[in-house]
A = this chain, B = another copy of it.
């Protein structure tokens, strides 16, 4: 891949990572996938979410210790509705306990990124601070434009035929 093409792709990836919410899915209690959405932040080499266990998809990712995640441009922003720009990846998940020294600064970072709701839900014990460590995934930027990404910094490594 040429340097200039790679730089363009990396910018598209960064734009997706600058979004506010992430979609997730994991195998649920009934063995069927459960899907949901939640705000996220990037911090260090990981992504963090703070969702409630009352939702089936949250119990599913916590029980499995992993999940599939999707960042996707808004429908209104899509140039071609058949090929919304998106980044899909698998990630390992672990929990940051409330007594962990990371917990408070992460809550603060959520409040800065996503507003005053965090002040309300911060002390709700059905909410859990989860760290996502991305393994690998696919960046799709159009028809026949799918690229393998690797690791927590989503390095673009390969042009794929299929997504």
Residues of A at the B interface (CB closer than 8 Å) are 19-21, 23, 25-27, 31-39, 54-55, 67-68, 70, 72, 74-77, 80-82, 84, 86, 88, 90, 114-115, 117, 121, 161-163
Contact = CB atoms under 8 A, between A and B. Distances in A.
A35 B23 contact: yes
Q: How many copies does the complex hold?
A: 2
A20 B81 contact: yes
A67 B34 CA distance: 10
B23 A68 contact: no
Contacts of A21: 75, 81, 84
Contacts of A39: 81-82
Contact of A68 (B20, B35, B86): B35
B35 A88 contact: yes
A80 B117 contact: yes
Given A81-B114, A114-B81, A33 B27 contact: yes
Contacts of A27: 27, 31-33
A35 B72 CA distance: 12
A14 B121 CA distance: 30
